[in-house]
């Protein structure tokens, strides 16, 4: 159960290192920082409408990053240094440029048609959540042929039909493909959205949990491979009875981290840890302050939520709805001692902590621009290697102080 002592670092290959070979050459960076697991954000071929979460080939590597051989060499090199690798698995949807969808759209008689959700009217699932109203008014998208396909996120991301057994078989085969090459775990992206049912908001349904349990059972021959659930609400349910995901993001604790930091009241964190302590054996929460998405705060009243968001993002330039997309340094206005206190809080809490690339240097958001609807772009800047090298050579730098916090933490 390597995940019980995991210290995770989350990165985009291109933004962090440019390509896979350069990332491989820089593995010692993670050893110096004190992390022992990398979460690699999507590396698959993609039109890049949604930063790689619109996958066009689940068994490939995006050409600008390198080749499959490069990725295999990276996995072997990481393993030799004792570094585990988690990759993103985009279960809910594919790119509309994926061969499955191209075939499905080209012929209603194709078996691939059943891989996706179609409608003649676009009226089904009216209560389904639309997480991206800035990108589309509703989840049904015209196919251009008189019917509609369902897309929870961007219109170019067609939702898979997880009621079709062949979809499960395909995804399991994809997981086996990457396990054979040395991947240690999979982050299950947008897992609450897999199953759609009339009369519901199409999230966190019992049938979704059934599919996750089935995936876990199918991987029984690989007990050392971990599944990590991304579920913003009802997150604890994705442990199941120890038969779903071994790892789940603790979104509630993240909310309480930020509330505690904004209000100077650690009792929020203590209460959250007490409330999320009881999980199945051999499972682990994954804890974080920030990541490639926006920060979500669900547990407060609307008025309290707005007050906290005003502190996290005073200008409002990085906030869409109730979700500010801010790095740690941006949210804390670059105050070193506050940032260090935030990381102390993260690495003292039980769970597997995540460092989002660049936060250990104090990287801030990209400058705000007019007309940017998807605010998450602001926390996805290229890694500053010049600054990294400067700080790595300075024992009093922010990097060095953060590394001391990470190396000094004991995971339980």
Q: Which residues form the catalytic set?
A: 189, 230
Instruction: Tell me the C-alpha distance between 283 and 393, whole Å.
Output: 37
Instruction: Tell me the C-alpha distance between 284 and 338, whole Å.
Output: 27
Buried b (16+ CB within 10 A) or exposed e, 387-407: bbeebbeeeebbbbbbbebbe
C-alpha distances (whole Å) from 266 to each of 117, 253, 272, 340 are: 46, 12, 10, 15
Helix H, strand E, coil C: the string for the chain is CHHHHCCEEEECHHHHHCCHHHHHHCHHHHHHHCCCEEEECCCCCCCCCCCCCCCCCCCCCCHHHCCHHHHHHHHHHHHHCCCEEEEEEECCEEECCCHHHHHHHHCCCCHHHHHECEECCCCCCCCCCCCCCCCCCCCEEECCCCCEEECCCCCCEEEECCCCHHHHHHHHHHHHHHHHCCCCEEEEECHHHCCCCCCCCCCCCHHHHHHHHHHHHHCCCCCCCEEEECCCCCHHHHHCCCCCCCEEECHHHHHHHHHHHHHCCCHHHHHHHHHCCCCCCCCEEEEECCCCCCCCCCCCCHHHHHHHHHHHCCCCCCEECCEECCCHHHHCCCCHHHHHHHHHHHHHCCCEEEEECCHHHCCCCCCCCCCCCCHHHHHCCCCCHHHHHHHHCCCCCHHHHHHHHHHHCCCC
Instruction: Tell me the C-alpha distance between 233 and 75, whole Å.
Output: 32
Q: Any idea how long the chain is?
A: 412
């Amino acid at each position: 159960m390597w995940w019980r002592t995991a210290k995770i670092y989350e990165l985009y290959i291109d933004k962090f290192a440019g390509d896979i070979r350069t990332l491989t050459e820089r593995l010692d960076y993670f050893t110096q920082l004190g992390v022992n697991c990398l979460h690699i954000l999507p590396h698959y071929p993609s039109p890049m409408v949604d930063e790689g979460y619109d996958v066009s080939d689940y068994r490939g590597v995006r050409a600008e990053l390198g080749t499959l051989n490069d990725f295999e060499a990276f996995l072997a090199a990481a393993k030799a240094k004792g570094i585990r690798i988690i990759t993103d698995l985009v279960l809910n949807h594919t790119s509309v440029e994926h061969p499955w969808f191209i075939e499905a759209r080209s012929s209603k008689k194709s078996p691939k048609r059943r891989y996706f959700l179609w409608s003649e009217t676009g009226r089904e699932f009216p209560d389904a959540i639309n997480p991206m109203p800035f990108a589309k008014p509703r989840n049904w998208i015209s196919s251009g042929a008189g019917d509609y396909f369902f897309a929870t996120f961007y219109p170019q991301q067609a939702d898979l039909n997880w009621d079709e057994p062949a979809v499960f078989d395909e995804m399991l085969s994809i997981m086996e493909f990457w396990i054979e090459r040395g991947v240690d775990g999979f982050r299950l992206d947008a897992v609450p959205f897999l199953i759609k049912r009339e009369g519901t908001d199409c999230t966190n349904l019992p049938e979704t949990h059934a599919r996750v349990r089935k995936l876990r059972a199918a991987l029984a021959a690989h007990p050392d491979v971990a599944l990590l659930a991304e579920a913003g609400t009802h997150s604890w349910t994705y442990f199941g009875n120890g038969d779903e995901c071994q790892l789940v993001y603790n979104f509630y604790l993240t909310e309480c981290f930020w509330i505690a930091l904004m209000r100077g009241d650690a009792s929020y964190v203590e209460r959250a840890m007490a409330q999320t302590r009881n999980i199945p054996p051999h499972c682990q929460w994954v804890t974080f302050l920030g990541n490639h998405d926006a920060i979500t705060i669900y547990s407060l009243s609307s008025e309290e939520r707005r007050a906290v968001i005003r502190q996290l993002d005073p200008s409002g330039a990085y906030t869409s709805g109730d979700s500010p997309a801010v790095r740690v340094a941006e949210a804390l206005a670059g105050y070193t001692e506050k940032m260090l206190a935030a990381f102390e809080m993260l690495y003292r809490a039980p769970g597997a902590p995540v460092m989002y690339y660049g936060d250990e240097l104090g990287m801030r958001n990209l400058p705000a621009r007019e007309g940017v609807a998807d605010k998450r772009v602001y926390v996805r800047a290229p890694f500053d290697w010049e600054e990294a090298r400067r700080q790595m050579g300075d024992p009093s730098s922010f990097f060095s102080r953060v590394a001391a916090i990470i190396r000094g933490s004991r995971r339980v």
